[in-house]
Amino acid sequence: MKVAIVDYGMGNIRSLTTTLTYLGVSDVILSNNYEILKSADKIILPGVGSFGKAMQQIRERKIDVYLKDLVVNSGKPMLGVCLGMQLVGNSSTEDGYNEGLGLVDAEVTRLSAPNIKVPHVGFNQIAISQNSRLFDGMAANPDFYFTHSYKMLTQSNINVSACEYGERFVAAFEYKNIAGVQFHPELSQKNGLHLLKNFLEKF
Ligand SMILES: NC(=O)CC[C@H](N)C(=O)O
């Protein structure tokens, strides 16, 4: 299997690559080249850093155009990780207002519940949605490692598994061939390995 990790200069690449290789993925490649992304069986959109800067880097490399073609038009499976999940939505208020890739109908705003420490850092539990492919085969309320200050919210009918941190937010979503996780599966031990294996096998 060939997995392409989208290279826009702001990702948690090393740990993701190591984890995918550990899971037996024979070909893990970091790229922003259309033909290479097209040749992959699955795409992962990573992300560590700020939304506005990330979208600027993505647009400068025409990756927004490539992903709309490959993921939306051709149905290639893609997993967005942390900032990568947020980028898949319509917009974020990080760095002022910035439009995202708009691949799912969701918005990103700052964590804002009273009396909570931001950023949200550490392991936290997830309430798994019904019919989830990502969490299939996991015990209820698995925990994963989070480190973020912004949260995704959605009114659409995408399949959402939620986390509670002073407020409920999208911990993971699944929508046709697209999935996103706010946490870092590559830093979430056996639950993270299980989730990544499910993405590789079920999307
Ligand atoms: N770890 C990150 O890069 C977090 C993504 C985003 N900047 C947030 O704070 O939510």
Q: What is the pLDDT along the chain (203 residues), one digit of tens a residue?
A: 999 999 999 977 899 999 999 999 999 999 999 999 999 999 999 999 999 999 999 999 999 999 999 999 999 999 999 999 999 999 999 999 999 999 999 999 999 999 999 999 999 999 999 999 999 999 999 999 999 999 999 999 999 999 999 999 999 999 999 999 999 999 999 999 999 999 999 99
Catalytic residue among 82, 148, 174, 194: 82
Catalytic residue among 99, 184, 194, 201: 184
Q: Hey, whose CA ends up nearest to atom 3 of ligand 1?
A: 48
pTM exceeds 0.90: yes
Instruction: Please give the pLDDT value at position 11.
Output: 79
Instruction: Please give the pLDDT value at position 12.
Output: 74
To the query of whether residue 184 is one of the catalytic residues in this protein, the response is: yes
To the query of whether residue 82 is one of the catalytic residues in this protein, the response is: yes
Q: Is the peptide bond before 46 cis (omega within 30 degrees of 0)?
A: no
Contact 153, 167 (CB under 8 A): no
Residues composing the chain = 203
Pocket-testing residue among 12, 16, 51, ligand 1, by greatest number of atoms within 8 A of Cβ = 51
Which residue's structure tokens are 């190591």? Answer: 18
- ipTM of the complex in this document: 0.96
d(CA 118, CA 128): 24
Q: Measure 23 CA to ligand 1 centroid, in angstroms.
A: 26
3-class DSSP state for residue 57? helix
Contact 193, 36 (CB under 8 A): no
Please state the separation of Cα 106 from the chain's center in Å.
Answer: 13
Q: Measure 82 CA to ligand 1 centroid, in angstroms.
A: 7
Which of 29, 41, 17, 1 lies closest to 186, judged by CA? Answer: 17
CATH of the domain at 84: 3.40.50.880
Q: Measure 12 CA to ligand 1 centroid, in angstroms.
A: 12
To the query of whether residue 186 is one of the catalytic residues in this protein, the response is: yes
Count of the separate structural domains present in the chain:
1
Domain span at residue 45? Answer: 2-202
d(CA 171, CA 161): 6
